[in-house]
Chains A and B, each alone.
Chain A
Amino acid sequence: MEKSLSWREFIITRLIQSSGYSAIIFVALIFFFLLREGLPTLGEVETSSLLNIRWYPIEEYFGILPLISGSLIVTLGATLIAVPFGIGTAVYISEIAPRWMREILKPLVELLGGLPSVVLGFLGILVLSPFLRVFLDLPTGLTAFTGSLLLGGIAVPTVVSVAEDALDSVPRAYREGSWALGATKWQTIWRVTLPAAKSGVLTAIMLGVGRAIGETMTVMMVTGNAPVLATKLGSLFSPVRTMTATIAAEMGEVANGSTHYHVLFFIGMVLFIISLIVNVIASSVVFRAKKRAERILS
């Protein structure tokens, strides 16, 4: 009985341990398959034409610059929306709102995080873009700006929840100390609480940006899908096409193993690396902040 018990324990422990390590394996597998299908691009398409400004796969033009610029401009717009609204809402929830309000707001924001992006894209097509077309007097409502608005909304819950956590973990004593010195709540928020939560707020912004870059369905549905190099701010109000939308729209129609197929995987690889960088930076900020907090507390 004791023997069989220790065998069971041994096997269960091993299973649990391998599950723990599976996350590393999955990241490695994802990277491996992106490399495997994406790297042949470099042999098939010359680097100079990859860095061209023309994306027209049917005639073998594989310039990915317009796609990168499309992703950047949409993400930039989304960030400009998500940061003030996300952090403002986080400050409201954590510092200003009465308790009952908090209990309503937090699940609501979480709800927004759970809304399928395809539903937002759908409303973007039917409601937002016709409105913007008339309101801003544009030739079409399917623009980078439309995408930015919706993406901003999609990134908000990420920003709110991470920033709110960060604000929440600022020790109450900091605030009380500040109030005791005669500072108003408002001054305390700006001069004490937010600076103390700085690294967490930065992480929130990074993760929000990461969320925006990677979003696919919404941008595919509302940005008009025109692979034009965005060079000036005015491009915000014309159709663009992002990296994610390109993969989603075209992968279904290419032959496996064709150059076009490899290039789409290559774009996926670029996206993977971008998200890797964003997340490693975001998480190292968190780790460093934690370390510092531990040092101060011990």
Chain B
Amino acid sequence: MMTRFLSRNRHTVQRLGFSAITLVAVVTVIPIVGTIIFILFKGGSAISLEFLSGFPHDGMRAGGILPAIIGTLYLTLGTAVFSVPLGIAAAIYLSEYAKDNQWTRLIRIAIINLAGIPSVVYGLFGLGLFVLFLQFGTSILAASLTLSIMTLPVIISTSEEALRAVPQSFRTVSISLGATRWQTISRIILKEALPGILTGVILGLERAAGETAPILFTGAAFFLPRLPQSPFDATMALPYHLFVISTQVPEMPIQIQYGTALVLLVFVLTMNVIATVIRSRARAKRQW
């Protein structure tokens, strides 16, 4: 009698508990979906060819956002140029070469710290080193370099994980057939880890594309009447532009604000979805 009561009681507790946790998860997820749908809905009507391909005019209260779109593209590509080779090489070092010693531990702590440094502090650093000390000025170059260092930990840790997932036996076999370490990496390991590395790279660049604080004082321009001509020009960028028109410009048409938010969101979400698809397809295809 007593045990049956206890057991029923336990299962009631479990049911209640599971419901509560499920509720928590639902409450966490609904705003994410809600935000995305809300912006798609509100911003959709602002999207037109003119909006996507035109320059802003009337103090940015009319016209398009082309310079901001192009600027974000440049910054993302610029970030990729520096952070992708460096990040993958660092991941290769950690996964394939590094011994388990104090130095390696120090590198890992450094990477964890890079990941945790506030984005605005990256902005300060970029201002101090690239803009002022190296005299790149407020430019795409300085902003890309700043974003690269910020992106590095994401790329390193995801790539390292992908490399480590490749079975050790491939390495042993390749070496036993007379391959050098680098031949093994370049012919076998990198190829197998590629989808995972790609996912990490895109997720890292996605973060860079959406960031505002690091480019505030290193490369972002309030308004430019033309597209940037060289890496030493400053540039408009979608996230900064959204910040500007939603806080700094009085009587800004709400339509343009939502439209800009939508374009930024689509830019970032597309990268996210591509990364997710690559990862799940590679998982399904994997044979080892």
**9-residue interface stretch from B50-58, B59-67, B89-97:** B89-97
Tell whether A12 is near chain B: CB-to-CB under 8 Å: yes
B149 contacts across to A, CB distance below 8 A:
26, 30
B18 touches A116 (CB 8 A): no
Given A88-B21, A125-B246, A217-B212: A114 in contact with B206 (beta carbons within 8 A): yes
Tell whether B14 is near chain A: CB-to-CB under 8 Å: yes
A248 touches B120 (CB 8 A): yes
A283 touches B108 (CB 8 A): yes
Q: How far is the CB of B143 from chain A (nearest CB, A)?
A: 14
Tell whether B187 is near chain A: CB-to-CB under 8 Å: no
Q: How far is the CB of B168 from chain A (nearest CB, A)?
A: 17
Tell whether A42 is near chain B: CB-to-CB under 8 Å: no
Complex-state Cα separation, A108 to B206, whole angstroms: 15
A118 touches B121 (CB 8 A): no
Given A9-B180, A156-B28: A214 in contact with B129 (beta carbons within 8 A): no
A215 contacts across to B, CB distance below 8 A:
118-119
Given A33-B128, A186-B18: A115 in contact with B268 (beta carbons within 8 A): yes
Q: How far is the CB of B146 from chain A (nearest CB, A)?
A: 10
A186 contacts across to B, CB distance below 8 A:
10, 13-14, 17-18
A-to-B contact residues, CB < 8 Å: 5-6, 8-9, 12-13, 15-17, 19-24, 26-27, 29-30, 33-34, 36-37, 84-86, 88-89, 91-93, 96-97, 105, 107-112, 114-123, 125-127, 153, 156, 160, 184-187, 189, 207, 210-211, 213-217, 221, 244, 247-248, 251-252, 256, 264-265, 268, 271-272, 275-276, 278-280, 282-283, 287
B128 contacts across to A, CB distance below 8 A:
33-34, 36-37, 265
A123 contacts across to B, CB distance below 8 A:
35, 38-39, 261
Closest 10 CB pairs of A and B: A214-B118, A20-B93, A116-B210, A88-B24, A19-B89, A186-B14, A33-B128, A92-B25, A216-B213, A279-B116
Give the dominant DSSP class at B's interface.
Answer: helix
Count residues of B near A (Cβ-Cβ below 8 Å): 91
Q: How far is the CB of B34 from chain A (nearest CB, A)?
A: 10
A210 touches B116 (CB 8 A): yes
B242 touches A122 (CB 8 A): yes
Q: How far is the CB of B156 from chain A (nearest CB, A)?
A: 7
A265 contacts across to B, CB distance below 8 A:
124, 128
Summed over the interface, the residue pairs from A and B with CB atoms below 8 Å come to a total of 267
Q: How far is the CB of B239 from chain A (nearest CB, A)?
A: 4
Complex-state Cα separation, A33 to B131, whole angstroms: 12
Q: How far is the CB of A287 from chain B (nearest CB, A)?
A: 8
From A24, A92, A107, contact of B276 by CB (8 A): A107
Complex-state Cα separation, A5 to B183, whole angstroms: 10
Complex-state Cα separation, A86 to B25, whole angstroms: 8
B182 touches A12 (CB 8 A): yes
From A97, A111, A122, contact of B246 by CB (8 A): A122
Complex-state Cα separation, A200 to B124, whole angstroms: 32
Complex-state Cα separation, A15 to B129, whole angstroms: 23
B268 touches A214 (CB 8 A): no
Task: With A92-B22, A214-B120 given, name 19 new contacts (CB 8 A).
Answer: A19-B90, A19-B92, A23-B90, A23-B153, A34-B128, A88-B21, A96-B22, A110-B203, A118-B240, A122-B242, A123-B38, A125-B246, A184-B14, A213-B118, A214-B116, A244-B118, A247-B123, A251-B123, A271-B121
